[in-house]
Every structure is written in C-alpha cells, then in structure tokens.
A and B are shown apart, each in its own frame.
Chain A
C-alpha cells in the first residue's frame, strides 16, 4: 500500500492559512457548512485525487456521515492526522497532564483504561498509545483508512523528549490494529529521519514535511531538508508547497514536482485549496509529472 501522488489536505477547511489570517478567518466560517467541504472534496475527486489527509476536527463528523450515508467518493482513501492538537492544548491550561490523559481514555471504554493504567504504573507509558490512537481514529469508522499520521505538534514533541517507545507504539498500533500506514508530520525532517531510522530502527517511514521553493519552515536549513528528502531513507510527502514568498503558484509547484521520485525524494504532494478551479489545475500539474 502506498500513497497516490496528489493528496488533498484540509488547511482550507479549518481556516489555516500561513500567509493570510484574514483569508483564514473567512474560510473558517465558510467551511462550517459540511456541504461546502463536500463540494471541494468532490472537485478534487473528479480531478483524480484519491487521498484525503485531514486533522480529526469535529467539523468532519457531519461530512463523513454524509459520505458514508450516500456512498460518495468510493475510491477515496482517508488519512487522519492525530491528534487535533488545539483541543488538548487548551485543556492543559486548566488540567494537569495526567488528568487530560485520563479523561480522554474514558471516552472509548472505561475498562480499557485499567490495562493502560497498569502499564503506566509498571513504567510503560507507551501502553496508553494504542488507546489514544483508537480514540482519535474513531471518526473514520467505516471509511477506508490508508494511513494515520501523527501531527507535528505531537511528533516533534515526542521526538524532542526522546519518547522512542511511544513513537514505536504508535506505528505498531496503526499497522497492526488499524492495518494502515503509520506516518509522521514534522517541521524537522533531517532530525526525524535520524530519530526514526537510526535510533528506533524503522525502515523507510512515511514522513510529511514542508518542502517549498522559499524554504519556508524547512528546519534547520532548506538544503539540509532537501538532502534529507533525497536520501530516500524515508518516504516523503511534501507540504506547504506554495509557501514560497514572492514566487508564483506555478513555479512553486513546478519546483516540488521537479523533485518527485529519485531526483529529489518527493513521493507525494499534499496540497489544499478552496477553489475547484485551482484544485483541477494543480492536480493536472502533479499527476502529469514524470519521475
């Protein structure tokens, strides 16, 4: 199992825009309506997109209900990116870390927390991970799940504190229990390759990281991230492909597309747009690229 080259992302649906907060606020309002989201996914599907990668925001509950009910987009594969960090991060202002974890685990099955609790007490905090992954993946029940990615806020944090057992437990849960591809979103691609491949021993993990002409959020440096992609030690999804300062949309996209495959190590491109027309033209450019 692998990803198709063009993956539809969801920043537009949640009002995330790295360059324009005013536009972000308008999109946040517009996509409160599930039909508006379905329309954009439909345009991407018609253009040939077969993967949708999204954060587990409750905004999608109604969208997925409708997809299941009306059997829409039969060949589309889903990749939840977990956790939707904002909801947990804001809880941490008023609750301690153990309290937040405990209340989360109660959502799925109060009995399950016993096993995880014992694992914690026995010094295996990774025992909680399967539980947390399953809670987050609940919204995709009944939909074909291609993979489950750990959000960069969670992954980069776990990587920073050296929580290698927890990262392994995540990958293991996604592979064994959910029969899907585990993946990691990161803003520190070279460090992620080092930790996952050298320290944990994963073979070619799926990584999703910024890759763009302007070097936006390519840490520590644009050229080290490019080299890290090109090393082919990981399978790579390029994101923030249009965040390129003064460069135009077409040249930004062409730069990333020119690095697909052996040339630059880009396996797939994650992109989003709120406009059907832009989606169609972007998908055409991405799918026409040759390795």
Chain B
C-alpha cells in the first residue's frame, strides 16, 4: 500500500500529515520538485521523489495520489493519474481552464478512474445542516440567500513575482476563495443556471481582483448574491457566512454556527422549532489536525482507494464527496463570473 502526496507546500504538508495518521509513514511518499523541500521531508523519514514516474519505477504503482501543487500543474498530474489508472484527489480549483477541466472529466470517466476534488467546506457540519434544512422543507419555500467569504489573506501589496497576485496564474480572490464558496453554494442550493451580474475591484493587487460581488440564479429559480473578499482585516481567518430567507424563517450559517429566526406567523409548533434548532456539532474523526472537514475529506478519499470506510462517526450524511464533475462545474462558473466582471 502506498499513497503519494504531490506538492510539499501548505496543503501538501497538511494532507501528508493527515494521511500518515491513517495509513502510517511507511505508506506515504512525497513527490516534490524542489530539492530543499524533499530534503526536509526525507529527514523526517519520508520517501521522497522528484516525479511520479520515478515512484512507479522504484516502488510500483501507488494506490492513490493527492495532488496539492499550484493549480497550474493540476491538469498534467490528473492526466498522469488517469493514464496510469491511479485514483486521485486533486485540490481546488481543478484547473484554470474550464475546457481542460471538462476534458479531464471525460478522460476519467472513460478510463473509470476514481477522482475526488478538494472542496473541503462541504464537510463542515453547519453547512451540511443548512442543506438538510432545505431538503427537509419544514421551513417552507426558500426565497433567496446572501453568501460571503471574507478573510485577511491580502493585507499588503502582493510580491509581483508571486502567483497569488496574478489572476492569470490562478491568483486573486475569485480564484483563491471562489472555488470554496461557489462549490458550497452549489452543494447547498443546487446547480447554477446563470450568473446575472458580477463586478470586481482591486485594493492592494494590481494584476488580480481583491474582491468580487455577484448575483446568480439556480436551477431551482432561487437567487443568490455572493461577496468574495480576501482583504478584510477585521477577520482573523477566513469565514463563510450564508443568510437564507425561507418562507417561515431566516437562517444564518457560518463555519461554526446555525441560527434560525422564525417569522412571527410561522406555522410551526414549539416542538418542531426546538427540533429544527438543535446545534450542529462537528462529527468525530479518526485523527484531528486542522478541522474535522480536512480529516473527513481524507477519510473519504483513502476509504474509496482502500475499499473500506475509514469514518468513525456513524451519522455522516450521504452524497457529500465532491467529484471531478463538481470541479469542472466550479471552474466553468469561475470562468463565467470572470467574463461577466471583466476579469477575462
């Protein structure tokens, strides 16, 4: 058994540590082009390689690969996994080109290769709770919602060399925060039919958006407004907030809380209200590192590769695991938003 983590940056380190807790260090390989990074991990006792082909030559085909490189390398590495029939997990966004993402979806389907994308916010209990409230229907018809993702990633002008401050290379708020909140809105409210309005602004960046505001409509006819801002210094860390207006209540959800305010004439008895108001506690995980959601997405991927469940909480909802199709859908929406806003 062996799993490769490709990319020894922030997300690579996080995934590598987590999967080590589940499958053991002897079964985890780091693939990274930078020699200095390989050196550090090698000293920590990991097998390291500069490329995936070298892994196959020396150790045989891995049981799964986790792609946590800069986005520009996602497509090539995904294609490697598909060509070699190796299940893969690819970080968000899938690629920077929706057509390339569509091609990956087709190739993976044709080859029958299992793939998962890194839309981790789906695993947050509070957002799953909002989804269940919509599906449950007891709050009545959903009229509209507002969603925002705000954080303090960009607090000084970005280094011109760095990809983070360059929209074309995958930088900017839409590319960085967009995939999380766009996928989350699709997960909760369903597919998006049309982006009706989009606007962007630059504050500290000169080659990328620091904020994007947009309106869109879902297949269900529900309308949503999104605000994406990665330079909000009032935030200690990134926070997603959603306010949904139902027929019988207004629901506010963020990464850790669900608040339901029932309308005065809501036809719901006290028992139903109490039942709907229970708090959404995060599930237990086999090993906790940065949040349950990161453990759960890795439990999902490793479990799918190994053919047995690694979840320890028996009450997890179904249908959460993000697929390659979800990755493509989000890339297409980012493209639509960027065009509408004038970023492309």
Binding site for B on A (CB under 8 A): 14-22, 24-25, 28-29, 86, 89-90, 92-94, 96-98, 120, 123, 125, 153, 156-157, 159-163, 187-188, 191, 214-222, 245-246
Assembly CA distance A98 to B16 (angstroms): 17
- Report the nearest A residue to B165, measured CB to CB: A94
Contacts of B239 in A (CB 8 A): 21, 25
Assembly CA distance A162 to B286 (angstroms): 16
B235 at the interface (CB under 8 A from A): yes
- Cβ 8 A contact of A156, one of B40, B255, B289: B289
Known contacts A19-B257, A156-B288, A161-B17; A221 and B312 CB within 8 A of each other? yes
- Report the nearest B residue to A157, measured CB to CB: B17
Residue from A16, A90, A219, A221 having most chain B Cβ neighbours under 10 A: A219
B20 and A162 contacting across the interface, CB-CB below 8 Å: yes
B312 and A220 contacting across the interface, CB-CB below 8 Å: yes
For chain B, the bracket of interface size reads 35 or more
Query: What does DSSP make chain B's interface, helix, strand, loop or mixed?
Result: loop
- Report the nearest B residue to A186, measured CB to CB: B288
- Cβ 8 A contact of B281, one of A15, A20, A214: A214
- Cβ 8 A contact of A21, one of B36, B43, B241: B241
B10 and A162 contacting across the interface, CB-CB below 8 Å: no
- Cβ 8 A contact of A98, one of B37, B234, B255, B282: B37
Binding site for A on B (CB under 8 A): 8-10, 13, 16-18, 20-21, 25, 34, 36-37, 39-40, 43-46, 153, 159, 162, 164, 234-237, 239, 241, 254-257, 278-279, 281-282, 284-290, 292, 312
Contacts of A89 in B (CB 8 A): 10
Q: Which 6 A-B pairs have the closest CB atoms?
A: A187-B288, A92-B10, A160-B17, A160-B21, A21-B254, A98-B36
Assembly CA distance A25 to B234 (angstroms): 7
Known contacts A92-B10, A162-B20, A215-B284; A120 and B43 CB within 8 A of each other? yes
Assembly CA distance A125 to B36 (angstroms): 13
Residue from A191, A217, A221 having most chain B Cβ neighbours under 10 A: A217
Assembly CA distance A215 to B279 (angstroms): 13
Assembly CA distance A219 to B296 (angstroms): 13
B43 and A125 contacting across the interface, CB-CB below 8 Å: yes
- Cβ 8 A contact of A125, one of B10, B25, B40: B40
B288 and A188 contacting across the interface, CB-CB below 8 Å: yes
